[in-house]
A and B are shown apart, each in its own frame.
Chain A
């Protein structure tokens, strides 16, 4: 599904290198957790995967289903099935949530050569997805993410993910700012999307989320590199002993 080889990326404006020779492989159906202390490059990795042009890839390769995605813009990547759930979803006043969902779904369908969704079918899908995430349809009458609480924003991200049916989901600190009830709803939404032909990359600072979204693999990111990989036991070890041991070991 995803293969990152010796990736180097820097902030375009300042030239500061953040990702420094990162290697990572995620297979079809796999849930991979990326953990690491603040400043290790977790969010940068998620942005680079989604194609944000504030970052420049200077070396290495990102292969998605065997093909390089480095020359694709964010919309093209999304249409190919890559989805980033944002740590801080943008509030966009003036863009109605429903309109946004419809345009996004139909843009992706168009890029894949599919017919646009008819309104009743679109509404049916949204209704089903909102119900499963305990989202009130009234929330979608508001402008996109405007006035949403932290928990509502995260749920809205998972809603988008559900509707867009991506193949590679990248969740950037989806647990931040969530209370335990919201966390369970969000984790439930993600778990429902686990499928043999879909991979999920969960980026998180804390082990807590991984109690609800149990990963197949755990990777520790430090100074822009994966310094250690293991199974879910690694996350528990990190929670107990902190990052210091793993980092020292790697150094």
Chain B
């Protein structure tokens, strides 16, 4: 298995490896953390960035697509934006560095830089697999972020928004949350910016028994930015995790989701809306484990593709032998609005239990002609009618969140996107 050692390094690989030594003294962490960082960069050096021959990266050849890696820019002037939801407590990360902590009742909030020096953090930096390039890049370079510890039974009255804003260069953030038993919270993870940055972000969540967590990832990077995201979660007994993902920007976007429904009766809901324009490449890849009895999951991903954009959704559901009575449903629907764009879908089911309900479906279609005719027959001109139908296709997923302020805020994002790209 030394095939990869003979290949030439790409400019991006070289940049990542070469800058590491210079960057290391500025990175936080105890000895064990530093060791993990070195391990991660060594693995990257040995294996290189994954190309399309690596199954998990088949639709996103990172080696080819990550063409440049900008230098770190300590002086980049990142600017925070208004929170998605009015009244949110905002925890900002500007240019990769956590701002001032804000108090939230029932929640202990610590910056990641501080957490990395607590002597027990290092194992969390371990990439998930050998192919986990996002985990490895982030482990090597993660500089800051936020850790939320939501106390048992706590239910913060307002949403928390973790907002990472970049202005070019590189930003690598680490987020984590422990949701205590029976706690209930809404958290927005936001990625915004103005520069052509390389951003990576890894989020680790433990949802305690009977807890309910709603986590919204809203990615609105500018057209030149690269966003490599990873969301890892473990769902406890009778706990509920709803993950909503909205991708509205970026040049190269990979959002990974790794969820383990490990407690009996745990429930996972994924809703994703990907709006692809220009020459964006956007990949959402999910690996979901049903590891316990009576766990449930539904995943609905809706995509619209315009211009020359390319997208992919890989959804893998693994049902362990002991996870009887699993109920899992996955759907991915795409509206192709341009002949030059494309979207690839790969559903995968791996089922080792014998008493389960698992289903998946995927469609790639154009705007429904019958619906278009119906709207036009009422005097709505074609462009407006098409816009209504495209928005409706996405709005259906958003409305499933059944929370008026959230639905309104997300639909306003849609409107903004359509105003720019419609």
Chain A nearest CB: distance from B67 CB in Å?
A: 37
Evaluate contact between A160 and B378: CB separation under 8 angstroms. yes
Residues in B whose Cβ lies below 8 Å from that of A95: 375, 388-389, 392
A177 at the interface (CB under 8 A from B): no
- Give 1 or 0 for each of B75-90: 1 = CB within 8 Å of chain A CB: 0000000000000000
Residues in A whose Cβ lies below 8 Å from that of B377: 50-52, 74-75, 77-78, 83-84, 86
Residues in A whose Cβ lies below 8 Å from that of B385: 75
Known pairs A78-B379, A95-B392, A111-B379; A86 contacts B374 (CB<8 A)? yes
- Residue in A closest to B395 when the chains form the complex, CB atoms: A94
Most chain B beta carbons < 10 A, residue from A53, A75, A83, A164? A75
Q: Complex formed: what's the CA distance from A86 to B371 in Å?
A: 12
Known pairs A52-B373, A54-B369, A90-B371; A75 contacts B395 (CB<8 A)? no
Evaluate contact between B380 and A94: CB separation under 8 angstroms. no
Known pairs A54-B369, A74-B373, A90-B374; A104 contacts B380 (CB<8 A)? yes
B344 at the interface (CB under 8 A from A): no
B55 at the interface (CB under 8 A from A): no
Evaluate contact between A74 and B376: CB separation under 8 angstroms. yes
A107 at the interface (CB under 8 A from B): yes
A137 at the interface (CB under 8 A from B): no
Evaluate contact between B376 and A73: CB separation under 8 angstroms. yes
Evaluate contact between A104 and B370: CB separation under 8 angstroms. no
Q: Complex formed: what's the CA distance from A93 to B378 in Å?
A: 17
Question: A-B contact count, CB below 8 Å?
Answer: 77
Q: Complex formed: what's the CA distance from A107 to B376 in Å?
A: 10
Q: Complex formed: what's the CA distance from A125 to B399 in Å?
A: 27
Evaluate contact between A103 and B380: CB separation under 8 angstroms. yes
Q: Complex formed: what's the CA distance from A89 to B378 in Å?
A: 12
Q: How many of chain B's residues have a CB under 8 angstroms from any CB in A?
A: 24
Residues in B whose Cβ lies below 8 Å from that of A73: 376, 382
Residues in B whose Cβ lies below 8 Å from that of A86: 374, 377
- Residue in A closest to B396 when the chains form the complex, CB atoms: A94
Evaluate contact between A89 and B374: CB separation under 8 angstroms. yes
Residues in A whose Cβ lies below 8 Å from that of B373: 50, 52-53, 74
Residues in B whose Cβ lies below 8 Å from that of A164: 378-379
Known pairs A54-B369, A93-B396, A94-B391; A75 contacts B380 (CB<8 A)? yes
Evaluate contact between B370 and A94: CB separation under 8 angstroms. no
Q: Complex formed: what's the CA distance from A100 to B370 in Å?
A: 16
B393 at the interface (CB under 8 A from A): yes
Residues in B whose Cβ lies below 8 Å from that of A207: none
Evaluate contact between A92 and B392: CB separation under 8 angstroms. yes
- Give 1 or 0 for each of B397-419: 1 = CB within 8 Å of chain A CB: 00100000000000000000000
Chain B nearest CB: distance from A32 CB in Å?
A: 20
Evaluate contact between B384 and A103: CB separation under 8 angstroms. yes
Q: Complex formed: what's the CA distance from A4 to B376 in Å?
A: 22
A79 at the interface (CB under 8 A from B): yes
B94 at the interface (CB under 8 A from A): no
Q: Complex formed: what's the CA distance from A95 to B386 in Å?
A: 12
Evaluate contact between A75 and B379: CB separation under 8 angstroms. yes
- Give 1 or 0 for each of B339-381: 1 = CB within 8 Å of chain A CB: 0000000000000000000000000000001110111111111
Residues in A whose Cβ lies below 8 Å from that of B391: 94
Residues in B whose Cβ lies below 8 Å from that of A111: 379, 381
Q: Complex formed: what's the CA distance from A104 to B384 in Å?
A: 10
A44 at the interface (CB under 8 A from B): no
B394 at the interface (CB under 8 A from A): yes
Residues in A whose Cβ lies below 8 Å from that of B399: 94
Q: Which of A54, A75, A84 contacts B382 (CB 8 A)?
A: A75
**From residue 51 to 87 of chain A, which have CB atoms closer than 8 A to chain B?**
51-54, 73-75, 77-79, 83-84, 86
Residues in B whose Cβ lies below 8 Å from that of A75: 376-382, 385
Q: Complex formed: what's the CA distance from A19 to B213 in Å?
A: 60
Residues in B whose Cβ lies below 8 Å from that of A130: none
Chain B nearest CB: distance from A58 CB in Å?
A: 20
Q: Complex formed: what's the CA distance from A79 to B381 in Å?
A: 9
Residues in A whose Cβ lies below 8 Å from that of B389: 92, 95
Evaluate contact between B371 and A107: CB separation under 8 angstroms. no
- Residue in A closest to B388 when the chains form the complex, CB atoms: A95
List the 7 closest pairs (A to B, CB-CB), nearest first: A94-B392, A78-B379, A108-B379, A74-B376, A104-B378, A90-B374, A94-B396
Sample (17) of A-B pairs whose CB atoms are under 8 Å apart: A51-B376, A51-B377, A52-B377, A73-B382, A75-B379, A75-B382, A78-B376, A78-B377, A94-B393, A94-B395, A94-B396, A95-B392, A103-B384, A107-B379, A107-B384, A111-B379, A143-B396
Instruction: Name 19 extra pairs, CB < 8 A, besides A75-B377, A107-B384.
Output: A51-B377, A54-B369, A74-B377, A75-B376, A75-B385, A84-B377, A86-B374, A86-B377, A90-B371, A92-B375, A92-B392, A93-B392, A94-B391, A94-B392, A94-B396, A103-B388, A104-B375, A107-B378, A111-B381
